Structure 1
Amino acid sequence: MIMNFSDLGLNKQLLTAIEKAKYTKPYPIQIEAIPAFLNRKDILGIAPTGSGKTASYILPILQLLQGKKEHRSRNIPVLVLVPTRELAAQVAQVADNFSRFLERRIKTLAVFGGVSINPQMMKLNGTDILVATPGRLLDLLSKNALSISDVEILVLDEMDKVLNMGFREEVDQILADIPKNRQTILFSATQDETLEEVISSLLKDPKRISVKAAEVDMNLINQYAYRISAEKKGPLLRHIINSGDWSQILVFTSSIRTANNLVQKLVKNGIDALAFHGDKSQGARTEALARFKSGKTRVLVATDLAGRGIDIQFLPLVINFELPRSPKDYVHRVGRTGRAGATGEAISLITEEDLHHFKIIQKKMKKHVQLRSTDDLDL
């Protein structure tokens, strides 16, 4: 079995960049995807976030581009479509990191909404890899700022999320402008009937790769809940935060509005907190996550969609200020703690209206969560 990056057919410059990035062994998805990609196969990868999929397509893209001449046009040879600006920025960063030692300079550009379009338009010339959200790409195409009629490699990353976010029409519009004779790579965390339709229409005899998500070890997470009225949730949250010495606390809400209101109240009460959600600019989100990871900000209040990008190895406490809609999302939330063999805590604030839903969550995850009274707490 292949165990080293040097066995995957990558050139010396890329191997140097991999070594400098302190990547020691390839992930299973990289072992399967990289050689197939270099052999110009279409690929279908069913793989969760954190499985190493970004490097599994960026590394072979960089290698294949080495055989092409630099260009100064706005004709894009490689297009990577992603659902969120977070992921767009992250993919572009990975490409820049791995291309540092290459003989032929590779230009990667991330384009997404929520920021001015003009600076993005000005940077498009000579772009080799364009990482784009569907809406912003269509904006740029409508202004004739670039051409995708010569795309040779198309990557659709987190396609399930792209479809869930309602981008199907936008994706169909984009695909209509891309040559049919291309190499297509599609990654998704889940596979259902809707995705199967997309797969059959886009991929030609693909290499199929499936990587299971690492299971959350619920035994490493000390879970408990407080029964509380809706109006006392805020005071209870502040009491929990002030009662322990947790260095980092991740709080989940179900809406952007609640996240913003919560942060305002926490800050007003002397607790250092920042919000992390889709309505924040890319710069604000990057800064909030950096401050939280470094310990400069103690409390981060996130929504589920944004929270999927939070990966902290030793996060001590997760609080569900509001319950998520599905048991799967609950497991994903509490699974932010209790990682890498370290124990963690997860606390949920449960109102009378939440009780039935919370019982369903416990039944689905096959674990009882102690429900504590707040009568003795000074709120």
Structure 2
Amino acid sequence: MDFSAFGLSAPLLKAIAAQGYVTPYPIQEQAIPAILNEHDILGIAQTGSGKTASFALPLIEQFRERKPTRNRYVKTLVLVPTRELALQVATVFQSFSLYLGNRVKTLAVFGGVSINPQMKSMSGTDILVATPGRLLDLIENKAVHLSEVEVLVLDEADKMLNLGFAEEMDRIFALLPPKRQNLLFSATLADDIKAIKAKLLRNPVVISISSDTDETQVELIKQVAYRVTPEQKGPFLRYLIKQQNMEQVLVFVSSVRNADNLVVKLNKNGLEAMALHGEKSQGARTEALRRFKAGLVRILVATDLASRGIDIQFLPFVINYDLPRSPKDYVHRIGRTGRAGASGEAISLITPEDEHHFKIIQKKMKRLVETHETADVNLQGF
């Protein structure tokens, strides 16, 4: 099956080819025709499964049939939990709109930066990708109106609820017209998601590919762990990066402080690194991610929250410098590599204090991770 089977227009097919897509991923096969037929959708799908394109493509196609958008009255609203994800989703819409004669305007808005440029940029926007808090700010400033929204997308709804957006989302729902198409995507079907489903969706097409995707994705990732002492951690990380000549590596840590400290030590040892965490300004976070994706910086050191918008198709290495709190976060972290059918390697550094927790992670994942001793590794000079 190829994308032409969906009846998409020639400009869209040209943009799809330019982005390197050859055949649709499973979620795209099911979601694209259902959205084009104006069904509500409940999609249970992990990040990295091709989900964003599964709703971006049909929504852009629908704009070919719509009347021009009234200024500041957006037609499509996409709600996301983080700034990075807002930018990522908007970029997908923009890339697929590239060859349309009457370009569909997509704008990402989020907090942490000045609201004034976003207010000015709202003019002529057709598709708005927003974090809930900043959207409410723009509504209060009369920079955008929701009374003509025809499609509402909730992307990563489970994370929005976990991050405490439920009250803000309810305020937004109250401003939307009752007649609209609703597309809800989540990594899990938890009780909170079931409640939103009951509130928002009308006879939805339910697409569930999360479990198969998780298993397939984890199988594609080579996992290995190294036992280290706390004192060895930093030198062994530097040894690994240099010894394996890692040119692009994402390193996860447990806290902002650990991220900043590790970046200082890596740079002191001649390894170009930048930090990505919630205490960085939005400009600094965007620049760090841009430089890392472009290969201008070798190592990105990130906390879990900041990692939500990191989507790099061929990222070769992920390293757990600190283990995450939950097995689910472990799978999310290592899933930054091995995406969209590509292989990747995930490495974990395990101190004696981590041993019990790492056994729990492996048990939940239903997979044993090959673990090596490091006592004989010569770390002098690292």
Partner of 2:86: 88
Mapping 1:150-189, distance limit 5 Å: 150-189=148-187
Q: 1:22 to 1:312 in 2, by over 3 A?
A: closer
Q: 1:35 to 1:240 in 2, by over 3 A?
A: closer
Partner of 1:278: 278
Partner of 1:227: 228
Which of 26, 29, 32 lines up with 1:31 in the alignment?
29
Task: Find the residue that maps to 2:185 and give its secondary structure.
Answer: strand
Q: 1:66 to 1:220 in 2, by over 3 A?
A: closer
Partner of 1:354: 354
Partner of 2:44: 46
Mean Cα deviation higher: 117-126 or 364-373: 364-373
Q: 1:219 to 1:57 in 2, by over 3 A?
A: closer
Task: Please give the TM-score of this superposition, normalised by the length of structure 1.
Answer: 0.90
Mean Cα deviation higher: 298-307 or 282-291: 282-291
Q: Distance in 2 between matches of 1:364 and 1:34?
A: 33
Partner of 1:289: 289
Partner of 1:145: 143
Q: 1:101 to 1:157 in 2, by over 3 A?
A: same
Q: Distance in 1 between matches of 2:342 and 2:34?
A: 34
Q: Distance in 1 between matches of 2:180 and 2:343?
A: 45
Aligned AA (1:136): R
Q: Deviations over 1:169-227 (max 9, x none)?
A: 11011001111111111111111111100100100101111123242455862512223
Q: Distance in 2 between matches of 1:305 and 1:6?
A: 37
In 2, are the aligned partners of 1:70 and 1:104 still within 8 Å (CA)? no
**Alpha-carbon offset, residue 70 of structure 1:** 2.4
In 1, are the aligned partners of 2:252 and 2:319 still within 8 Å (CA)? yes
In 1, are the aligned partners of 2:72 and 2:125 still within 8 Å (CA)? yes
**Alpha-carbon offset, residue 73 of structure 1:** 1.9
Q: Distance in 1 between matches of 2:228 and 2:103?
A: 58
Q: Percent identity?
A: 56
Please give the root-mean-square deviation of Cα atoms over the aligned residues, in Å: 2.5
Mapping 1:199-210, distance limit 5 Å: 199-210=197-208
Aligned AA (2:304): D
Partner of 2:371: 370
In 1, are the aligned partners of 2:40 and 2:205 still within 8 Å (CA)? yes
Aligned AA (2:16): I
Q: Which runs of 5+ in 2 are unaligned?
A: none
Task: Find the residue that maps to 2:274 and give its secondary structure.
Answer: strand
Q: Deviations over 1:93-150 (max 9, x none)?
A: 2222222222333211110111110000011122111110001001111222211122
Q: Distance in 2 between matches of 1:147 and 1:312?
A: 33
Partner of 1:266: 266
Partner of 1:108: 106
Mean Cα deviation higher: 253-262 or 156-165: 253-262
Task: Find the residue that maps to 1:291 and give its secondary structure.
Answer: helix
Task: Please give the TM-score of this superposition, normalised by the length of structure 2.
Answer: 0.89
**Alpha-carbon offset, residue 349 of structure 1:** 3.5
Which of 106, 111, 121 lines up with 2:119 in the alignment?
121
**Alpha-carbon offset, residue 373 of structure 1:** 4.7
Partner of 1:252: 252
Aligned AA (2:154): L
Q: 1:60 to 1:240 in 2, by over 3 A?
A: closer
Which of 74, 77, 94 lines up with 1:76 in the alignment?
74
Partner of 1:329: 329
Q: Which runs of 5+ in 1 are unaligned?
A: none
Aligned AA (1:92): A
Paired residue total: 375
**Alpha-carbon offset, residue 335 of structure 1:** 4.5
In 2, are the aligned partners of 1:148 and 1:177 still within 8 Å (CA)? yes
Task: Find the residue that maps to 2:178 and give its secondary structure.
Answer: coil
Task: Find the residue that maps to 1:287 and give its secondary structure.
Answer: helix
In 2, are the aligned partners of 1:43 and 1:209 still within 8 Å (CA)? yes
Q: 1:246 to 1:93 in 2, by over 3 A?
A: closer
Q: Deviations over 1:51-83 (max 9, x none)?
A: 222122122222222223324521122111111
Q: Distance in 1 between matches of 2:217 and 2:62?
A: 37
In 1, are the aligned partners of 2:84 and 2:308 still within 8 Å (CA)? no
Q: Distance in 1 between matches of 2:13 and 2:78?
A: 23
Mapping 1:290-305, distance limit 5 Å: 290-305=290-305
Q: 1:258 to 1:98 in 2, by over 3 A?
A: same
Partner of 1:16: 14
Q: Distance in 2 between matches of 1:345 and 1:75?
A: 45
Q: Distance in 2 between matches of 1:209 and 1:338?
A: 22
In 2, are the aligned partners of 1:338 and 1:345 still within 8 Å (CA)? no
Q: 1:75 to 1:316 in 2, by over 3 A?
A: closer
